[in-house]
Structure 1
Amino acid sequence: MTTPPLLTATRAYYDTVAEGYAERVKGAFARDAWGRAMLGGFAEEVRADGGLPVADLGCGPGHVTAHLDGLGVRAFGVDLSPRMVDVARRDHPGLRFEVGSMSALDLPDGELGGVVAWWSILHTPPGLLPVLFAEFHRVLAPGGRLLLGFHAGEDQPYSGRKRDDGVSYDIHLLSPDRVGEMLVRAGFVSTARMLGEGERWPWACLAGRRPAAGASPADRAGS
């Protein structure tokens, strides 16, 4: 199967910056009280639900996976970039990391208690996000939890400066309202939302869950 150009470009970019990126995010959560709060609440809910595994999608060098592991969650990471996965395995040898695409996960239906996509959906154009959210819904068990973090805006694209070797990247400053609507259409119930001002762009964290088996219409609506 031919790899779409979007995935090829994203993989190439992260393969070339893996070492520097890993160094930059070391100790990130020591400086990020709101991120710790959202991930902490997510981990508490997953543990209370029975502790099924959690996939950290777009895991990069594995710092979020390791943070979740430290919170008592059975977390593993998946990333498109083989070099990022190599770095994650080196820096966190006790944890599981795999190369893969979050739009086509090599996981059975309903296997996971949680999915985290922490600043990793922002390379996907807004029109393609429903594909990701349908895949997240597929791999979550009934009642499973979802947590997204991303740069916020009005769905406008941003292109990073092309380097001398021709490698560049594109991101999308995603609308929290429209992302939330897409999640509902994908079958999720909204459970929490946090917005904040970042150093460069605003940010958003959205939490949701796949309704439990046999949930009433009111439960599915989040009431």
Structure 2
Amino acid sequence: MGTDHGVGLAYDGVAELYANLFRGELATQEAELAQIRRLVETPAVAGRGLPVGDLGCGPGEATELLTGLGVRAFGLDLSAGMLAQARLAHPGRPFLRGSLRSLPLADGSLGAVLARYSLIHLPPAELPSVLAELHRVLTPGGLLLTGFFAADPELGDRDLPVPFDHKVSTAHRWPVDTLAGLFRAAGFTETARTRRDPGPGERFPQATLLLTRP
């Protein structure tokens, strides 16, 4: 819990500032929004009614978006401060505190998972065990969407994750193929990916992976 504790405390200290700074940011990401809609449309969610877990929910904007699309959704985060901001902005929505390392969820209980920039602070050596935990809680046929900072060959990045000075806590930017390979090793099948250049105010390329648990 050492890394979890440090990351949680770091986000506690900036929770209100972070929530204000990034309010409305997701609404501008059209490609990512299209992929989030695919989570909602997967049969495990649309047909069977299984919930969508917004894991690493921060101030809860994606949780609110998912709920507004007509599905059962909840947010989970390490940071008590972030959860306080989420509950303030989205009263009545379900938010709980927890770690990706040991999710308080039953096997196969989720129809879909959104892990938006919630894997970036994990030490790379620990990522396989976390991906196994995500695989455990996702139902067969369910979808997982993750967003992350992508490696940049123009900065000399190659095929290994690269630590950088994230403004809250040390994070890593990942080569898309390398991260996709770890998901494959954990039992996921890649469905789609995106990668875009940095936008205004962004330092690194941004990427997503959409995967399914067969």
Q: What's the TM-score once normalised by structure 1's chain length?
A: 0.86
Partner AA of 2:193 in structure 1: R
Match of 1:185 in 2: 185
5+ residue gaps, structure 2: 152-156
Task: Please point out which of 139, 142, 156 is paired with 1:144.
Answer: 142
CA distance in 1, matches of 2:170, 2:119: 11
Superposition deviation, residue 133 in structure 1: 0.6
Tell me, yes or no, if structure 1 residue 68 matches structure 2 residue 66. Answer: yes
**Kept in 2: contact 1:187–1:210 (CA 8 A):** yes
Q: Pairwise CA RMSD of aligned residues?
A: 1.4
CA distance in 2, matches of 1:50, 1:191: 21
Tell me, yes or no, if structure 1 residue 59 matches structure 2 residue 65. Answer: no
Match of 1:105 in 2: 103
**Identity across the alignment (%):** 44
Superposition deviation, residue 83 in structure 1: 1.0
Match of 1:157 in 2: 163
Cα 1:88/1:206, change in 2 over 3 Å: same
5+ residue gaps, structure 1: 162-167, 212-223
Partner AA of 2:209 in structure 1: L
SS at match of 1:40: helix
**Kept in 2: contact 1:126–1:174 (CA 8 A):** no
**Kept in 2: contact 1:47–1:72 (CA 8 A):** no
Match of 1:218 in 2: none
**Kept in 1: contact 2:120–2:173 (CA 8 A):** yes
Match of 1:114 in 2: 112
Superposition deviation, residue 89 in structure 1: 1.2
Count of aligned positions = 202
**Kept in 2: contact 1:25–1:63 (CA 8 A):** no
CA distance in 1, matches of 2:145, 2:127: 14
Partner AA of 1:62 in structure 2: G
Superposition deviation, residue 13 in structure 1: 0.9
Tell me, yes or no, if structure 1 residue 30 matches structure 2 residue 27. Answer: yes
